[in-house]
């Protein structure tokens, strides 16, 4: 498969490293409006064909897919352009700023008969995935409670300055991943309530969010996120888990320690992800998940399957984000299905 990547910024570098290691897919062209970022990235990854304009690139290149690694304002025009060109699409999270934009993008790619996957990679982190598979296999019986927690004081603003500028911050940028993990464990959400806070006076949006989810299949989960938590060990960017089931419990603790306890005893495993040759700590769990999700995209296309984190699936995660902001603003419990 021949692909092009649009948006050669901070995170796209990980995506390009990951593509280099995936058989069956090659990035043959790059696009960025910023000439310096474009030429630096083209040189780093030895990609000769470069464009400042995405429409010109889609016109000139013979492609099978595009990987959109820009921030949210450009997602809808770029996804619709790719759909009109008849291409399969991967688009970074947050997929859209509104449910209407998200639905329009899903519709555009489905009408073109192509595959749309959102780069929602946290559920693909190998430690998180191992925990999800353990629960799905029934190791702790029927799950009835979960706490999915991401708390850190790491300075994310130096690498991603736009995170300090938006009216929305932690739920839209990070909570979206953690809410998606809650869905991966417990399924659809019937009702959600949320409380938010801004602790850091240097930023515009909220940097703390605490959410309570009632899932349709009966479990309750607490999803808590903070970028205002100064503690040791600093766990960025680990998601910590506590899942209770009818037959036992599972915990993913700091340092990638996975504990499963049942009547039959206790198992403890070190599930720290490998440090890929191009990766660096502490980002290595996220970087590994980029390789895993991009391989999933290629495998799904080869097999004619819908990706687990497809555009259509992501509508449900985005609805949780919208529900959380609405609940925090109104003090009401919100039904995501109403959004």
| Binding interface with ligand 89V (CB under 6 A) | 156, 160, 173-174, 177, 237, 286
Alpha carbon 203 to its chain centroid, in Å, reads: 22
Q: Which does 66 bind (CB under 5 to 8 A by kind): ligand 89V, ligand NAD, none?
A: none
The size of the interface with ligand NAD (CB under 6 A), counted in residues, is 27
Instruction: Name which of 11 and 51 has its Cβ closer to ligand 89V.
Output: 11
Q: Which does 237 bind (CB under 5 to 8 A by kind): ligand 89V, ligand NAD, none?
A: ligand 89V
The least CB distance from residue 156 to ligand 89V, in Å, is: 4
Query: What order do you get walking across the sheet with 189-197 strand by strand?
Result: 189-197, 208-215, 220-226, 143-151, 240-245, 248-253, 257-262, 265-270
Contact call for residues 335 and 191 (beta carbons, < 8 A): yes
The least CB distance from residue 169 to ligand NAD, in Å, is: 11
The least CB distance from residue 134 to ligand NAD, in Å, is: 23
Residues counted in the chain: 339
Helices (H) and strands (E) counted in the chain, each on its own, are 10, 14
**What phi and psi, each to the nearest 5 degrees, are found at residue 137?**
-75, -5
Within 13 A of 241's CA, how many CA atoms are on the CB side?
32
* Residues 42-61 as x/- pattern, contact with ligand NAD by CB under 6 A: ------------x-------
The least CB distance from residue 10 to ligand 89V, in Å, is: 9
Instruction: Name which of 27 and 31 has its Cβ closer to ligand NAD.
Output: 31
What whole-number distance in Å separates Cα of residue 298 and Cα of residue 313? 17
Residues within window 103-122 making contact with ligand NAD, judged by CB under 6 A:
119, 121
Q: Which does 283 bind (CB under 5 to 8 A by kind): ligand NAD, ligand 89V, none?
A: none
* Residues 162-181 as x/- pattern, contact with ligand NAD by CB under 6 A: x----------x--------
Instruction: Name which of 11 and 185 has its Cβ closer to ligand NAD.
Output: 11
The least CB distance from residue 247 to ligand 89V, in Å, is: 33
Question: Contact between 33 and ligand NAD (CB under 6 A)?
Answer: yes
- Give the bridge partners for 66, in sequence order: 4, 89
Contact call for residues 7 and 31 (beta carbons, < 8 A): yes
The least CB distance from residue 298 to ligand NAD, in Å, is: 17
Cα torsion for 280, 283, 287, 288, to the nearest 10°?
Answer: 90
The least CB distance from residue 291 to ligand NAD, in Å, is: 12
**Which tokens is 311 given?**
């555009």
What whole-number distance in Å separates Cα of residue 175 and Cα of residue 338? 20
């Amino acid at each position: 498969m021949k692909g092009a990547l649009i948006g050669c910024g901070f995170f796209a570098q990980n995506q390009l490293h990951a593509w280099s290691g995936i058989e069956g897919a090659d990035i043959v062209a790059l696009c960025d409006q910023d000439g310096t970022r474009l030429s630096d990235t083209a040189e780093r990854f030895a990609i000769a064909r470069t464009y400042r304009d995405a429409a010109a690139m889609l016109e000139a290149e013979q492609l099978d897919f595009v990987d959109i690694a820009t921030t949210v304002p450009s997602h809808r025009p770029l996804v619709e352009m790719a759909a009109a060109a008849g291409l399969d699409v991967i688009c970074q999270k947050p997929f859209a700023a509104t449910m209407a934009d998200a639905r329009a993008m899903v519709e555009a790619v489905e009408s073109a008969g192509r595959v749309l996957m959102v780069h929602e990679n946290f559920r693909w982190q190998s430690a998180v995935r191992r925990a999800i598979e353990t629960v799905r296999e029934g190791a702790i019986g029927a799950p009835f409670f979960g706490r999915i927690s991401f708390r850190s004081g790491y300075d994310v603003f130096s690498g991603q300055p736009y995170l300090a500028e938006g009216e929305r911050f932690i739920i839209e940028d990070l909570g979206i991943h953690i809410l998606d993990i809650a869905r991966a464990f417990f399924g659809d959400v019937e009702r959600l309530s949320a409380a938010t806070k801004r602790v850091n006076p240097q930023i515009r949006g909220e940097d703390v969010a605490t959410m309570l989810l009632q899932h349709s299949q009966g479990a309750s989960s607490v999803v808590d996120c903070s970028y205002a938590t100064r503690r040791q060990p600093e766990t960025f960017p680990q998601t910590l888990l506590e899942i209770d089931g009818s037959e036992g419990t599972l915990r993913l603790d700091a340092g990638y320690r996975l504990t499963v306890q049942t009547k039959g005893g206790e198992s403890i495993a070190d599930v720290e992800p490998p440090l890929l040759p191009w990766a660096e700590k502490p980002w290595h769990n996220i970087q590994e998940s980029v390789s895993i999700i991009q391989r999933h995209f290629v495998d799904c296309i080869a097999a004619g399957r819908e990706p687990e984190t497809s555009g259509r699936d992501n509508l449900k995660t985005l609805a949780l984000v919208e529900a959380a902001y609405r609940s925090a603003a109104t003090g009401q419990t919100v039904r995501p299905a109403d959004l």
